[in-house]
């Protein structure tokens, strides 16, 4: 099942993608694709619905992030050994955890805006894991039982903010628009093995990243179990699990995003994103950023 949210920013409605690629509206069945809608019983009720009986959403509609009111946006760094190497950093002995601000979350095709003074903004295609049930100190064998589904994430990163401004990585990871998620949440039963998914990213039509989740240092199950030892994972939390090689930081010479660039990225079974890169422009007083 592919769950999504469609409509203008801040006014998205719940929906699903049917077998023919049509968006079907779920507004009569759920208020939103909120954390409570990700519980196993709630997903089972939606799965039992015949999509043919749901209204078709007409036209070329905007897709928002597939989950509303995401409590935590957790990220894992350096989870592919070849990406650690291109970053000139050691392969971690334990998962590297940092946070992306939930205020950076946006839809899969929304524009990415470079922050003020950005000189080293970068791209990262990543597998996103969506938590469906509360997880605290869960075992490795039980970890995937807490996963509602998966999505594609672009972990956009300002490397100068991340690495040259002191402190933790968070300040280069949570800039406004730096968290495109979507286009839909694909439920775990439809994805199957999360360690067998091809992934890719293009910048201006040139392939930059090619990878597969099988080469993760720490698997999805290991990550969910590990993170749950340090914080309680709640329904709707998203963990983005690291990126394969091919980021701008690792190019010779390093190459970063600039206004006018276009990113396209995707993960097998999980759909694709497309983002234009814009120069920074301050939000109007009282406007939604």
DSSP 50-99: -GGGSPBPPSSPPB--SSSS-S-EEEEES-BHHHHHHTT-PPPSS-EEEE
DSSP 139-172: -TTTGGGGEEEEEEEE--EEHHHHHHSSS-GGGG
Q: What is the pLDDT of residues 129-162, one digit of tens each?
A: 999 999 999 999 999 999 999 999 999 999 999 9
Angle, CA of 273, 274 and 277, to the nearest 5°: 135
67-278 homologous superfamily: Fumarylacetoacetase-like, C-terminal domain (3.90.850.10)
**Res. 287 pLDDT band, cuts 50 70 90:** very low
What is the spatial distance between Cα 184 and Cα 191, in angstroms, rounded to a whole number? 12
Stated pTM of the model: 0.94
What is the spatial distance between Cα 16 and Cα 271, in angstroms, rounded to a whole number? 13
What pLDDT sits at residue 46?
A: 97
Query: Which is more confidently placed, 276 or 91?
Result: 276
Please give the DSSP secondary-structure letter assigned to residue 225.
H
What pLDDT sits at residue 163?
A: 87
What pLDDT sits at residue 284?
A: 66
Q: Is the pLDDT of residue 169 over 90?
A: no
């Amino acid at each position: 099942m592919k769950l999504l949210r469609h409509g203008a920013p801040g006014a998205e409605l719940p929906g699903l993608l049917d077998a023919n690629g049509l968006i079907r509206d779920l507004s009569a069945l759920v208020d939103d694709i909120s954390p409570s809608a990700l519980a196993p019983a709630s997903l089972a009720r939606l799965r039992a619905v015949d999509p043919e009986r749901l209204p078709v959403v007409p036209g070329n509609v905007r897709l928002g992030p597939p989950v509303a009111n995401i409590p935590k946006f957790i990220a894992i760094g350096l989870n592919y050994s070849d990406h650690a190497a291109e970053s000139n950093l050691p392969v971690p002995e334990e998962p590297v955890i940092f946070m992306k601000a939930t205020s950076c979350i946006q839809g899969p095709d929304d524009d990415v805006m470079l922050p003020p003074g950005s000189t080293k903004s970068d791209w990262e295609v990543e597998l996103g894991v969506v938590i469906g049930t509360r997880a605290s100190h869960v075992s490795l064998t039980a970890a995937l039982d807490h996963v509602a589904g998966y999505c594609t994430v672009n972990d956009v990163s300002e490397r100068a903010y991340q690495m040259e401004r002191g402190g933790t990585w968070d300040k280069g990871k949570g800039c406004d628009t730096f968290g495109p998620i979507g286009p839909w949440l694909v439920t775990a039963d439809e994805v199957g093995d999360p360690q067998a998914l091809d992934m890719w990213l293009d910048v201006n039509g040139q392939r930059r990243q090619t990878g597969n989740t099988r080469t993760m240092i720490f698997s999805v199950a290991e990550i969910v179990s590990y993170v749950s030892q340090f914080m309680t994972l709640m329904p709707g939390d998203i963990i983005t699990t690291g990126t394969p090689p091919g980021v701008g930081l690792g190019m010779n010479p390093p190459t970063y995003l600039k206004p006018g660039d276009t990113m396209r990225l995707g993960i097998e079974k999980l759909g694709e994103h497309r983002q234009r890169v814009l120069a920074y422009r301050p939000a109007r007083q009282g406007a939604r950023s």
